[in-house]
């Protein structure tokens, strides 16, 4: 059992989403009191949608936020409705901006001509912002965090990666055909994620049950399960619903 992880289980997705939003909002307030800003790391995917819906109702114009998304397909146009840029704009950036909260929203550029240069720029931008205060993560059925697929090194940095076949398969539900599903992405590295001051991992639904039970049964990190590196971090919160925990 991963004793360092602080695990909470909620009865359903709605409660999980509300509690996650409250947790994030509390951290934003605390961090704001100390330094007048807050730097968040943000995920895409189905899991965080409920949390974003709640969070945008809590954040108002007294907050200054800087956010860094975990990953983006590469290459992809920003206005492609499957890009993570598009997802974030719809789920968070636009709703937040309409509450006049002041934000600087960052995401790897899927249109960059030179992906290596873009990865370095992104790492530097995180450093320049003073690092990430709270990183919010989902988890893939294969244990990936961001697009850090099985085999990712614990000290890996933001880089261009090949997306695992099982992830391509999982992502294909959003595309018209397998041929359209991107095979590469720019992702923050495991090392980049582990430098965040605090981490909140979210998992919901039956499809996450196997990976969560595998993760919680581990005694030490396993390179084939990228999320298992979280055991080495002192401040990781895991929010589950009962279907993911059962």
Residues of this chain that interact with ligand PGA (CB under 6 A) are 45-47, 138-140, 144
Residue 199: phi, psi to the nearest 5?
A: -135, 135
Shortest spacing between CB 139 and ligand PGA, in angstroms: 6
Closest residue to ligand PGA, based on beta-carbon distance: 45
- Range 190-227 burial, b when 16+ CB lie within 10 A, else e: bbbbbbbebbbbbbbeeebbebbeebeeeeebbeebbb
For ligand PGA, give the closer residue by CB, 13 or 23. Answer: 13
The least CB distance from residue 197 to ligand PGA, in Å, is 21
User: Do 195 and 131 touch, CB atoms closer than 8 A?
Assistant: yes
DSSP3 helix / strand / coil % (the chain, rounded to 5)? 40, 20, 35
CB of 13 to ligand PGA, least distance (A): 11
Task: Centre a 10 Å sphere on the Cβ of residue 98 and count the other Cβ atoms it contains.
Answer: 9
CA 10, distance to chain mean position in Å, is 20
Instruction: State the nearest-atom distance from the C-beta of 43 to ligand PGA, in Å.
Output: 6
Task: Find out whether the peptide bond into 20 is cis, omega within 30 degrees of 0.
Answer: no
Q: Are 137 and 199 in contact (CB under 8 A)?
A: yes
Q: Which is nearer to ligand PGA, 101 or 164 (CB)?
A: 164
Report, as residue numbers or ranges, the catalytic residues.
Answer: 71, 142, 144, 149
- Taking the complex as a whole, the smallest distance from the CB of residue 113 to ligand PGA amounts, in Å, to 27
**Dihedral angle over CA of 77, 39, 234, 194, nearest 10:** 30
Q: Are strands 159-162 and 184-187 parallel, antiparallel or unpaired?
A: antiparallel
Determine contact, residues 106/68, Cβ cutoff 8 Å: yes
Q: Closer CB to ligand PGA, residue 168 or residue 218?
A: 168
By beta-carbon proximity to ligand PGA, the closer residue of 70 and 134 is 70
Nearer to ligand PGA, 101 or 236 (CB): 236
Strand partners, 137: 201
């Amino acid at each position: 059992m991963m004793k360092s992880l602080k695990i909470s289980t909620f009865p359903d997705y709605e409660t999980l989403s509300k509690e996650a939003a409250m947790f994030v909002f509390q951290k934003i307030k605390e961090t704001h009191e100390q330094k007048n800003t807050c730097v968040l790391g943000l995920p895409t995917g189905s899991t965080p949608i409920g949390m974003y819906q709640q969070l945008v109702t809590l954040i108002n114009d007294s907050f200054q936020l800087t956010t860094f998304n975990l990953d983006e397909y590469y290459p992809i146009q920003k206005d492609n409705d499957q890009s993570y840029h598009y997802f974030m704009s719809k789920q968070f950036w636009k709703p937040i901006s309409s509450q006049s909260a002041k934000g600087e929203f960052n995401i790897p550029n899927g249109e960059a001509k030179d992906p290596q240069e873009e990865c370095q720029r992104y790492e530097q931008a995180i450093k320049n912002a003073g690092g990430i205060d709270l990183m919010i993560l989902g988890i893939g059925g294969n244990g990936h965090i961001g697009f850090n697929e099985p085999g990712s090194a614990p000290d890996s940095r933001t880089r261009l990666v090949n997306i695992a076949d099982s992830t391509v398969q999982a992502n294909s539900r959003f595309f018209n055909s397998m041929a359209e599903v991107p095979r590469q992405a720019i992702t923050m590295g495991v090392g980049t994620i582990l430098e965040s001051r605090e981490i909140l991992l979210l998992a919901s639904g039956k499809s996450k049950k196997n990976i969560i039970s595998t993760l919680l049964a581990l005694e030490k990190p396993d390179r084939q399960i990228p999320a298992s590196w979280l055991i080495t971090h002192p401040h990781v919160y895991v929010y589950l619903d009962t279907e993911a925990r059962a």
